[in-house]
Amino acid sequence: MSLKINFSNYENIVFFTGAGMSAESNIPTYRGSGGIWHKYKFEEYACQVAFDRDPEKVLEFHKIRRKAVLECTPHNGHHAIAKFERSRGGVSIVTQNIDGMHQRAGNINITELHGSLFRVRCLNHGTHEDLGAFTEFKCSCGQYLRPDITWFGDSLDQGVMEKALSLISSCDLFISVGTSGVVWPAAGFPEIAKKAGAKCIEINPEPSEMSYLYAETIQGKAGEILPDLLL
Ligand code: NAD
């Protein structure tokens, strides 16, 4: 990796992360070989219709996913971004991941576009709660609490989307890590950053659908590139 960035030239830096950010932590992917949707049908486990039909089954599936994620640990790339955020102001993460790895590494300014495996919400009240307090997965109103993540067929949370768009359209450096650029609306973020005048850098072992938009593409793994880049 030969690219060196003078970070003092940039005021607002956004790291935009996807499933590839967690690959070296061994978090199971969704697609590809070994992906979750090869083993489980999303129609049975990851949509509102499935939850309405059999909430216990869907909740059990998410319990298994949480357990799998908690058995993994953040890698050197996660730690490098966390150290970088501690070292200066103006650093934010916009992540498509629901695995909580950036939090576990110590980052604070995190916008979770697709929610979190570690929160639940009540469809009657619309409240979002950390999972910690719940063992029964029932709200005081009697409603089952559903995982606070974006399932198939769900819309993105409007407030979260607005926050992400505001960060991205006001950043001057946009660093994308481990995203294929095929899942919308997040796939449109590099173009928004570029149009707003940000320098856009991509970190990915393979070219993505959106590689053509980036000023620089660093070909490699997040856990190897980030510690070196953010030194
Ligand atoms: P994706 O699976 O479509 O693409 C992953 C990208 O990461 C690919 O371009 C791949 O080349 C790259 N990659 C693989 N290993 C890498 C590494 N070591 N370092 C850097 N890049 C690497 O993922 P996506 O673009 O995030 O979209 C899939 C959707 O599924 C998103 O909504 C995502 O949040 C969700 N998802 C989340 C998790 C999680 O929370 N960890 C896991 C799987 C999928």
Percent of the chain with pLDDT over 90: 79
**How does residue 129 score in pLDDT terms, banded at 50, 70 and 90?**
confident
Q: How far is the CA of 121 from the centre of ligand 1 (A)?
A: 25
Cβ-contact 223, 207 below 8 angstroms = no
What is the average pLDDT across 109-136? 84
What is the average pLDDT across 125-144? 78
Higher pLDDT, residue 38 or 172? 172
The per-residue pLDDT of the chain, averaged, comes to 93
Q: Give the separation between CA 206 and CA 17, rounded to whole angstroms.
A: 15
Q: Going by C-beta distance under 8 Å and a sequence separation of 6 or more, which residues neighbour residue 184?
A: none
What is the average pLDDT across 2-24? 94
Cis check for the bond before 207: say yes or no (omega within 30 of 0): no
Least confident of 66-80, 117-131, 135-149, 178-192: 117-131
What is the average pLDDT across 17-28? 93
Q: Which pLDDT does position 15 carry in this prediction?
A: 98
Q: Which pLDDT does position 133 carry in this prediction?
A: 56
Whole-number Cα distances in Å, 193 to 16, 54, 206, 217: 11, 41, 21, 15
Higher pLDDT, residue 199 or 129? 199
Closest approach atom of ligand 1 to CA 225: 19
What is the average pLDDT across 68-78? 96
- Is pLDDT at 130 greater than 80 in this prediction? no
- Whether the predicted model's global pTM rises above the 0.85 cut: yes
What is the average pLDDT across 180-189? 91
Per-residue pLDDT of 209-231, as tens digits, reads 889 999 999 999 999 999 999 99
- Is pLDDT at 87 greater than 70 in this prediction? yes
Q: Give the separation between CA 87 and CA 68, rounded to whole angstroms.
A: 31
Out of 78, 79, 102, 114, which one is annotated catalytic? 114
Closest approach atom of ligand 1 to CA 222: 19
Higher pLDDT, residue 54 or 29? 54
Q: Give the separation between CA 125 and CA 148, rounded to whole angstroms.
A: 13
Percent of the chain with pLDDT over 70: 96
Which of 62, 157, 204 to probe ligand 1 with, by most ligand atoms within 8 A of CB? Answer: 204
Q: How far is the CA of 135 from the centre of ligand 1 (A)?
A: 30
- Is pLDDT at 154 greater than 90 in this prediction? yes
Per-residue pLDDT of 26-43, as tens digits, reads 997 776 666 788 888 999
